[in-house]
């Protein structure tokens, strides 16, 4: 990020950053947390796509268009 900031502005940003080492154990915990957070959303999205014709949204359609049911 510092390099891009300097390239665009010509001024050094001076942002300090530290990288955390992600061990295999930490990665497992992080992945479980992400899956847990997304599980409700994924289920709702799946049910919504089943309720409405998901192909309509994949193939096109406008944001103002109303979806049609199967």
Dihedral sign for Cα atoms in the order 50, 53, 58, 63:
negative
Model confidence over 43-68: pLDDT tens digits? Answer: 787 787 777 766 666 666 555 555 55
| Residues 6+ away with beta carbon under 8 Å from 70 | 52, 53
Task: Map out the domains of the chain as residue ranges.
Answer: 24-58
Q: What pLDDT does residue 56 have?
A: 65
Q: What pLDDT does residue 23 have?
A: 92
Model confidence over 2-47: pLDDT tens digits? Answer: 788 888 898 888 878 788 888 999 999 888 888 777 778 777 877 8
1, 16 Cβ separation under 8 angstroms = no
Bridge partners (DSSP) of residue 52 are: 69
């Amino acid at each position: 990020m510092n390099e891009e900031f300097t390239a665009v502005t010509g001024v050094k940003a001076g942002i300090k950053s530290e990288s955390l080492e992600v061990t295999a154990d930490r990665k497992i915990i992080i992945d479980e947390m992400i899956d847990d957070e997304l599980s409700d959303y994924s289920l709702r999205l799946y049910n919504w796509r089943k309720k409405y014709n998901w192909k309509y949204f994949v193939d096109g359609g406008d944001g103002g268009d109303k979806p049609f049911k199967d």
